[in-house]
Amino acid sequence: MNWVLEGGLLVDPARGRVSEGPLAVVSGRISFGGPEAAENIDVSGCLVMPGNVCAHHHLYSVLARGMPGPDDPPRSFPEILERIWWRLDRALQPETIRLSALLGAVEAARAGTTSLIDHHASPESIDGSLDHVAAGIVDAGLRGVACYEVTDRHGTSRGRQGIAENVRFVRGNRWELIRGMMGAHASFTIGPETMETLVGEARSRRMPLHIHLAEDRCDERDSLERYGMRTAHRLSDAGALAEGDLVAHGVHLDEWEQQVVRDSKAWLAHNPRSNMNNGVGYAPVLRMGSQVVLGTDGIDGDMFAETRACYLKAREASWQTGPAFAVERLTAGTKIVGAMFGEPDLGTLAHGAPADLMILEYETPTPLNAGNLAGHVLFGLTSANVRDVMVAGTWIVRNRRHQLVDEEELAARCREAAPVLWKRMEAF
Ligand SMILES: [Zn+2]
């Protein structure tokens, strides 16, 4: 099916362009030469923008919303992991993995996110788990990148099982809109043997790595105690930091480590709302420049909210930071996904780019142009403006309704499944 979007303003933050339409979608790609046979869609009073990318998500945590806290409240980041997330991930089974992924992906789509990079954990159900994550993302119609968080926290045999799951998934992947990475939890839960194996497998198979790095001081402390070096140095020495890899957080990187990460050309996923929620501190993103991309770390799939938080944290740290900084971090995420799919124009409105886009109801109340676009993204646009969303030429949201999933039925299923999952956590 081909479409012509008429009457809207075409807004392309990645290329800093604002122009009048129309824009056509022909065979799943953006086109500026209108097709012969196409359905016209009136988008007057709207913006047509590329869809957002969430560069670091944990779809497995989506059913935790409203979950009662542990009896003994955590007082540190390791206790948050031990008493909440490392119990929730053990309680997951194939059905809840898929349901969490589906709900998270549907909510992301409704917020205008068309691609997400997921980091999955389910230590009691490792084999095949990435198929369930991918199925949830595919059922919601999104583009996605999946990986399993390799860890030795339940023994090195589970560490090996995680590596095997990443390899199996990438080798057997037949989904058009899904790719895989080599996931890893974090330095402080990965021993030398597992680190060597996972890096060896990733490099020999050209799989980018996706790992947490220096989210909390505990990661640095562990690396210094066990290996006599800081975390980024340990990863770099192990060959786990290279161009195209994705490291999340980097909150506690010292100046030398920041240089190590900059030199590696790895991407750094900044998750400001999660960092505030966990009280771990503020990442040195103002020094890491163009390598910084944005993720939600499982908070939700709303990249407008994350970009605004990124901006406000940056302004609090240095009022010399302009709006463009945060919006550039948002759009940089599309480069990771573009590289994974061999689509360098993904995330732009360039002729021939994949038609991953959103239509926002936004009758601009002040002039909107290429020069002040970032100000509108940060102070005008929210996920509530998102009316329609398309991925690879397929409408997945029309008039604020998901087109592939019955949202009421999904919510009802989740309301039933969540308390059962929370109860299962008592066993761990
Ligand atoms: Zn994370």
pLDDT in tens, 83-113: 999 999 999 999 999 999 999 999 999 999 9
Q: What's the CA-to-centroid distance between 2 and ligand 1, angstroms? A: 38
In this predicted structure, the answer to whether residue 70 has a pLDDT above a threshold of 70 is yes
**Residue 219 has which token pair?**
């990661």
pTM to 2 decimals? Answer: 0.97
What is the residue extent of each domain of the chain? 3-51+345-402, 52-341
In this predicted structure, the answer to whether residue 34 has a pLDDT above a threshold of 80 is no
Mean pLDDT of 398-422: 98
Q: What's the CA-to-centroid distance between 37 and ligand 1, angstroms? A: 45
In whole angstroms, give the CA distance from residue 423 to residue 87. Answer: 11
Q: What's the CA-to-centroid distance between 374 and ligand 1, angstroms? A: 27
CATH of domain 52-341: 3.20.20.140
Q: What's the CA-to-centroid distance between 168 and ligand 1, angstroms? A: 22
Q: What's the CA-to-centroid distance between 58 and ligand 1, angstroms? A: 6
Q: What's the CA-to-centroid distance between 24 and ligand 1, angstroms? A: 37
Which pLDDT score, from 0 to 100, does residue 267 have? 98
pLDDT in tens, 311-353: 999 999 998 899 999 999 999 999 999 999 999 999 999 999 9
Q: What's the CA-to-centroid distance between 43 and ligand 1, angstroms? A: 37
pLDDT in tens, 367-407: 999 999 999 999 999 999 999 999 999 999 999 999 999 99
Mean pLDDT of 182-199: 98
Q: Name the CATH superfamily housing domain 3-51+345-402.
A: Urease, subunit C, domain 1 (2.30.40.10)
Q: What's the CA-to-centroid distance between 211 and ligand 1, angstroms? A: 8
Q: What's the CA-to-centroid distance between 258 and ligand 1, angstroms? A: 19
Q: What's the CA-to-centroid distance between 172 and ligand 1, angstroms? A: 25
Q: What's the CA-to-centroid distance between 212 and ligand 1, angstroms? A: 6
In this predicted structure, the answer to whether residue 21 has a pLDDT above a threshold of 90 is no
Q: What's the CA-to-centroid distance between 48 and ligand 1, angstroms? A: 30
Q: What's the CA-to-centroid distance between 125 and ligand 1, angstroms? A: 19
Cβ(299)–Cβ(277) below 8 Å: yes
Give 354's strand partners. Answer: 29
**DSSP of 188-233, one letter per residue?**
GG--HHHHHHHHHHHHHTTPPEEEEESSSHHHHHHHHHHHSS-HHH
Long-range CB contacts for residues 401-410, cutoff 8 Å, separation at least 24? 402/106, 402/109, 402/110, 402/140, 403/141, 404/139, 404/140, 404/141, 405/102, 405/106, 405/139, 405/140, 407/106, 410/102, 410/103, 410/106
